[in-house]
Amino acid sequence: MLTATRLPKSIIPSLWDVPNPAKIDIKKYQSFIIARVAEKGGWADVQWLKKTYGVAAIRRVVARSRNVGKKTRNFWKIV
């Protein structure tokens, strides 16, 4: 479902440990981006995730990721 080709600037702080987040391949690193933004991003960032990857992909990644907390996992179960 990938609809975007670049990260919005608001998501870049969530990827604080990526050397050059503006140039990250959003398709290749889809799981990493979804997990990080779902856990650390703001509401607008989550809306971008939904638009870009779709709710099904977000739920799948959040359910499997070890980097997502219990609250985030539960949120995506009910959304």
In tens, the pLDDT along 9-19 reads: 999 999 999 99
Domain coverage including residue 69: 26-78
pLDDT at 5 over 80: no
In a domain, 33, yes or no: yes
**Within the chain, where are the H helices?**
30-40, 43-53, 55-64, 70-78
- The number of domains in the chain is 1
In a domain, 53, yes or no: yes
The pLDDT assigned to 3 comes to 65
Q: Are 34 and 60 in contact (CB under 8 A)?
A: no
pLDDT tens-place string over residues 59-73: 999 999 999 999 999
Spatial distance between the Cα atoms of 5 and 75, rounded to a whole number of angstroms: 26
The pTM of this model reads 0.89
pLDDT at 24 over 80: yes
The pLDDT assigned to 79 comes to 82
The pLDDT assigned to 4 comes to 63
- 29: exposed, middle or buried (C-beta count within 10 Å: 0-12, 13-18, 19+)? middle
In a domain, 59, yes or no: yes
